Chain A
Amino acid sequence: MEDILNAFVLLSNFVLIPALAYGSQLALGALGVTLVYGILRFSNFAHGEIMSFGAMSAILVMWGFQASGVSIAPLPTVLLALPFGILATIAMLLIVDRSVFRYYRKKRAAPVILLIASAGVMFFLNGLVRFIIGPDDQRVVDGERFIIRVREFKQMTGLDQGLALKTSQGISVLAAIVCVGLLFWFLNHTRSGKSMRAYSDNEDLALLSGVNPDRVVLYAWILAGSLAAIAGTLYGLDKSYKPFTFLQLLLPIFAAAIVGGIGSPIGATVGGFVIAFSEVTVTYAYKRFLAYMVPDSWAPEGLAQLLSTDYKFAVSFMILVIVLIVRPTGIFSGKTL
């Protein structure tokens, strides 16, 4: 019995909790991609770098706070800086929209042209971020690092197997719940949100009934920018912040959005967790888990790992390919906010 409990704790510690936190970050990222797709009708390749920009802005402000001794311990200081990061990201997005995307929108360019333009924006932002903050790893976390520590957990439960819950993980999950809740409330219960859905459903008809397209596009960028800054900062808080990683993050984020059905916010949310859980479960070494669950003599010699963690991004790719073959519209048949 205790072995089973231990096995469960082990799995929670190395699979369940990390995947929940990572899934929350992916879901927030994928929601931004999906919103932009639903309203502006192109796949925004710059989204990863927008997250990076948001996280960087928050970190810069955080340094300011740290230098002047402002702190909200035990919570990490970066949370206090996050609103500024969000504002900076929105401002940056509005400038980019004015100078790049609006031109193609007015010309009614094909989505693929906007997609290529967004790739250009991606490279530009990537350069800008590295120019400002440098290519190195930055430590984001401060304050109380853990909600539950391994030692405390062992004392509390008397189990051999310890469990740790990092503050960043708790915050990620909580932030995802709050953001997703707010977003859905906004889309389903406010007039502005309904205008956005209407615009996403049928642009011509929405225009006819006087829905202001500029306003809808503005809201889309505000929402996407906020979500991106939050997702990027949480990811940085949970791991560490490194400009380079956001290029790689683009794949699981798009995979999440597409798996759920691009354009569908519910899809993006669910997709984020599907991708996160797949990545973590496939790359986890089950050796110790099996050691708890089966008699000693059966315990595997190897790591019992399906795929090395080096290949974790391949998992998103595989899921993406499978979904596109089996159900190209995604779980929630996309293209509707």
Chain B
Amino acid sequence: MIVVDDIHMHFGGIRAVDGASITIEKGSITGLIGPNGAGKTTLFNVIAGNYKPTSGHVYLDGEEITGLKPHELFQRGLLRTFQIAHEFHSLTVRDNLMMVPAGQSGESLMDTWLRPSKVREEEERIRAKADEVIEFLEIPQVADELAGNLSGGQKKLLELGRTMMVDAKIVFLDEVGAGVNRTLLGTIGDAIRRLQQERGYTFCMIEHDMDFIGKLCDPVIVMAEGHVLAEGKAEEIMRNEQVIEAYLGTGLKNRPGKSAANPDGAAPSESNTGEQAS
């Protein structure tokens, strides 16, 4: 579905992404892991159109999408969340969600004046949708709160909620789980699974929590220093010598399959354990 072909993204002397090639199969939940600064977010930024790559190509369903604008990709059903949550801080949570669907007729002044009933109908529909998402994310108590006042975890949920407002084809999740409590993390995992199975979404998710990755993702891609280090099933990855060396840390060697986030003295400093504590 998505083919990333030899992407390079350089910032001056920094080679944030240095020849990464990955393929995301339709209907999969592909995990993307790797140490901090491996270039994961940068690769997302290139795919989602936020950066124009120094070189390389990105294809969506066989069509080249390199260098398209984020909103053009958004309209093609390619959605992404941000590692550092973005929000419209002076709008309520509900309004934040309601901003998502593009091309609403109320955005044109002409329609607002000339076809108020059509605009109102559309707005009602989107409002109902937003309420559904709010219900799903279990945040009805802050529905009318300004998004700027949300907690870090709630902002993450809002990020996820945004992707549920429209029919997406493929969603790129950048650490949606970071800072979200355990119970809710489970709910989010279920939601992702359900969206994939019932609505045919494809996901690509960056996550540091190996438990979460192990349960959801197949395949898992490991990045380090701007390129792909390994790819395969979660269990294989966790046993891969190179990956353990670069990312998971030696503490896991004896106990394959266990969470990298387990406190273990030798556990890798890269996994942002602190952020995931509930």
Contacts and interface: CB of A to CB of B under 8 A. Distances in A.
Interface stretch (B10-18, B88-96, B214-222, B238-246): B88-96
Looking at chain A's contact residues, the main secondary structure is helix
Contacts of B102: 209-211
A207 B70 contact: yes
A194 interface: yes
B88 A190 contact: no
Interface stretch (A143-151, A197-205, A302-310, A323-331): A197-205
Interface residues of A, number: 23
Given A211-B99, A212-B107, A198 B71 contact: no
Contacts of B100: 209
Contacts of A207: 69-71
B172 to A, nearest CB: 12
Contacts of B69: 207
A192 B99 contact: no
B187 interface: no
A116 interface: no
Given A210-B71, A210-B74, A211-B99, A198 B88 contact: yes
Given A195-B99, A195-B107, A209-B99, A202 B112 contact: no
B88 A197 contact: yes
A178 interface: no
B95 A194 contact: yes
Contact of B89 (A202, A204, A206, A215): A202
A195 B87 CA distance: 13
Contact of B71 (A191, A194, A200, A209): A209
B86 A191 contact: no
Interface in B85-132: 86-91, 95, 98-104, 106-109, 112, 119, 123
B70 A206 contact: no
A205 B90 contact: no
Nearest to A213: B71
Interface residues of B, number: 28
B149 interface: no
A198 B91 contact: yes
Contact of A209 (B74, B106, B119): B74
Nearest to A198: B88
Nearest to A200: B90
Contact of B87 (A194, A205, A212, A219): A205
B108 A192 contact: yes
A208 B71 contact: yes
A206 B99 contact: yes
A182 to B, nearest CB: 13
Nearest to B166: A209
A192 B71 CA distance: 18
B181 interface: no
B123 A191 contact: yes
A200 B89 CA distance: 10
Given A192-B106, A209-B102, A210-B102, A202 B88 contact: yes
Contacts of B106: 190-192
A201 B91 contact: yes
A200 B99 CA distance: 13
Contacts of B50: 204
Given A210-B74, A212-B107, A219-B109, A194 B99 contact: yes
Interface in A158-179: none
A224 to B, nearest CB: 15
Nearest to A215: B107
B86 A210 contact: no
Contact of B109 (A192, A198, A208, A212): A192
Given A190-B112, A192-B112, A202-B86, A197 B74 contact: no
Given A191-B119, A205-B86, 10 more contacts: A190-B106, A192-B107, A200-B90, A201-B88, A204-B70, A205-B88, A209-B102, A210-B74, A210-B102, A215-B108
In the A-B complex, list the 3 residue pairs whose CB atoms are closest, starting with the nearest. A210-B102, A191-B106, A201-B88
Interface of A: 190-192, 194-195, 197-198, 200-202, 204-212, 215, 219, 336-337
